[in-house]
Amino acid sequence: MRKNLIRVVAAAAGFASLATSMVAHAESNITTGTTTPLTALAHLDFQVTVPKVLFLQVGAGTALAANATVNQIAFTVPAASVGSNTPVAATVGSGDLGSGTVTARVIGNNGNVTLTATTTGALSNGVVGDPTLSFTQISTTAAQNTSTVPLPAPALGDNTTTTTTVNATGKVVNQDARWTFSFLNTVVVPPGTYGGANGANNSRVTYTASMP
């Protein structure tokens, strides 16, 4: 009987020691006394994991969401204006904003973003032997959308890649613009449709954003 009593007392002492240890280290506290104010402290640790992201939109889309739509920018030159040096606006339905205007947006969170535009060649009308129409005849104007500073647009060239840099603030880039394309109309070329849909006749321009 005495041995059992000793075991019970020892167990109780162990439990008391464990309870004391838990009170000392767990995140709750009790304070007694007569001071004013009387305070008790408890703590929480928070953690948020943010992935490295890079988003590019040129045309239809929603920020930080994928969209497979490829917009077309189309121009129809009036017969009386061919090669007149009078710029021609895009057709009304061109671009997600209409009339040759598209939404351009870059979001990144790991430093400066390099933005490039790549073409596979000058625009062709598909007729062998006919001259081509240079992409340098298409200008891009960046105007303010929602960000204070409009996102700059790389110039277009033939079978080349042009580059512009978007500088980050605190490693973050979140910049957009309204890019409007126009046909400069400074040359005379044979009749036909130069470029087209789905990359036909070298029509496709590939925009690429990259960051560290």
Residue 98 pairs with which residues in a beta bridge?
A: 101
The answer to the question of residue 28 being in a domain is no
The answer to the question of residue 68 being in a domain is yes
CATH number for the domain including 80?
Answer: 2.60.40
- Please tell me the total count of domains within the chain: 1
DSSP labels, 52-84? --EEEEESS-BTTB-------------GGGTTS
The answer to whether the CB of 42 falls within 8 A of the CB of 28 is yes
Cis peptide before 152 (omega within 30 of 0): no
Give me the tens of pLDDT residue by residue for the chain, a chain 212 residues long: 444 433 433 444 443 443 444 444 558 999 999 999 999 999 999 999 999 999 999 999 999 999 999 999 999 999 999 999 999 999 999 999 999 999 999 999 999 999 999 999 999 999 999 999 999 999 999 999 999 999 999 999 999 999 999 999 999 999 999 999 999 999 999 999 999 999 999 999 999 999 99
Cα 210 to Cα 52, 108, 158: the distances in Å are 12, 9, 21
The answer to the question of residue 152 being in a domain is yes
In which domain, by residue range, is 164 found?
A: 54-210
The answer to the question of residue 115 being in a domain is yes
